[in-house]
Amino acid sequence: MCENPANSREHVPPKNLFPESRDMRGENYRVNLITVPSCELHNLSKSKDDEFLMVSLAGIIGNNSIGYRHKLGKVDRAIRRTSYRLLDAVLTKKREIHRIEMAENKFIDVIWGTPDAKRLMKCFDHIARGVHVNHFNSRFDGRVHVHLGFLTYNKGNPQAWNDFVRRKTEIELDGKPSYGANPDVFFYQVTDVDEFGLFLFRFCFYGGLNIYTAMWPTTSSPPNNFAIDLMNRGIKTIVSLGDKKYEFN
């Protein structure tokens, strides 16, 4: 994150995203975690963001059973400890509670609302820079563009863009290896560096939450994109990708 001397190690992603064995019937998901050098300022100042990220991710519908059990254990304890103030931090707009029947006479309450996307992007910017240090053994100098692929968008262009990014990344990462000692909790993949010096990380949490971070080094020279320019001008634009078409505006 900075050029200050490192005097500690930082977990990337944060350690609290990995369930403790007491909540997982003795299974240990906190082995061989990624750590990178960190200065004391950046390591200590992000503890509240780490807790925010844990509460934001672990309980999302669509996670595997590990994420769900993590939510029922450590996450719920953290929420109760703060008298539910953590939920107020996670969701920035009106919350609605929906009761879903999972089986006969078995229900769960689902909270639906608008997350603090800006803060989430900040968290994943930090993770992307840390993963870069671990993967390439060098500090990343440049911009990180974060796309939260696990969100549901209620507007046309954002949802179409989300679908396009997901499919484009699937194509770029086809056959690429996955990294991470606990893939049921977290793993990542990385694309090849393209002719403009750009590349992308895909982070996957709890079996299904995808985040994409486009890495723009300061030495890269991305081209002007005519399709993006048309979209930004509000002009109807159709982008083809394989046998699928994505319509904007």
**SS3 call for 109:** strand
Q: Is the pLDDT of residue 232 over 80?
A: no
Q: 5-14, 85-94, 182-191, 206-215: which range is least confident on average?
A: 85-94
For residue 94, the model assigns a pLDDT of 67
Q: Is the pLDDT of residue 155 over 80?
A: no
For residue 44, the model assigns a pLDDT of 81
For residue 54, the model assigns a pLDDT of 95
Q: Is the pLDDT of residue 138 over 90?
A: yes
Confidence of residue 179 (pLDDT cuts 50, 70, 90): very high
Q: Is the pLDDT of residue 43 over 90?
A: no
Tokens matching residue 95: 């919350």
Whole-number average pLDDT of the chain: 89
Residue 119 buriedness (CB in 10 A; 0-12 / 13-18 / 19+): middle
For residue 159, the model assigns a pLDDT of 84
Q: Given the DSSP bridges, would you call strands 106-112 and 96-103 parallel, antiparallel or unpaired?
A: antiparallel
- Beta strands across the sheet bearing 186-190: 142-148, 209-217, 199-205, 186-190
Cβ–Cβ < 8 Å for 208, 64? yes
Query: Average pLDDT in the 80-93 region?
Result: 84
Q: Is the pLDDT of residue 10 over 70?
A: yes
Query: Average pLDDT in the 101-116 region?
Result: 81
For residue 149, the model assigns a pLDDT of 92
Long-range contacts, 119-124 (Cβ 8 Å, 24+) = 119/49, 119/52, 120/53, 120/56, 120/146, 120/148, 121/146, 121/148, 122/49, 123/49, 123/50, 123/52, 123/53, 124/148, 124/203, 124/211, 124/213
Q: Which of 208, 210, 211 is nearest to 65 (CA)?
A: 208
Longest dimension (CA), the chain: 59
What share of the chain in percent tops pLDDT 70? 99
For residue 112, the model assigns a pLDDT of 82
Q: Any idea what the Cα angle at residue 203 is, between residues 190 and 230, rounded to 5°?
A: 75
**CA-to-CA distance for 221 and 182, rounded, in angstroms?**
35
Query: Average pLDDT in the 219-244 region?
Result: 80
Q: Is the pLDDT of residue 227 over 80?
A: no
Query: Average pLDDT in the 114-134 region?
Result: 95
Q: How far is CA 107 from CA 53, 100, 102, 111, 218, in A?
A: 26, 5, 6, 13, 51
Query: Average pLDDT in the 204-232 region?
Result: 87
**CA-to-CA distance for 148 and 159, rounded, in angstroms?**
11
Condensed to tens digits (0 to 9), the pLDDT of residues 196-217 reads 999 999 999 999 899 999 999 9
* Dihedral over Cα of 65, 181, 23, 14: its sign: negative
Q: Given the DSSP bridges, would you call strands 209-217 and 142-148 parallel, antiparallel or unpaired?
A: antiparallel
**CA-to-CA distance for 75 and 70, rounded, in angstroms?**
6
Q: Is the pLDDT of residue 35 over 90?
A: yes
Confidence of residue 186 (pLDDT cuts 50, 70, 90): very high
Q: 26-35, 94-103, 183-192: which range is least confident on average?
A: 94-103
Cβ–Cβ < 8 Å for 194, 179? no
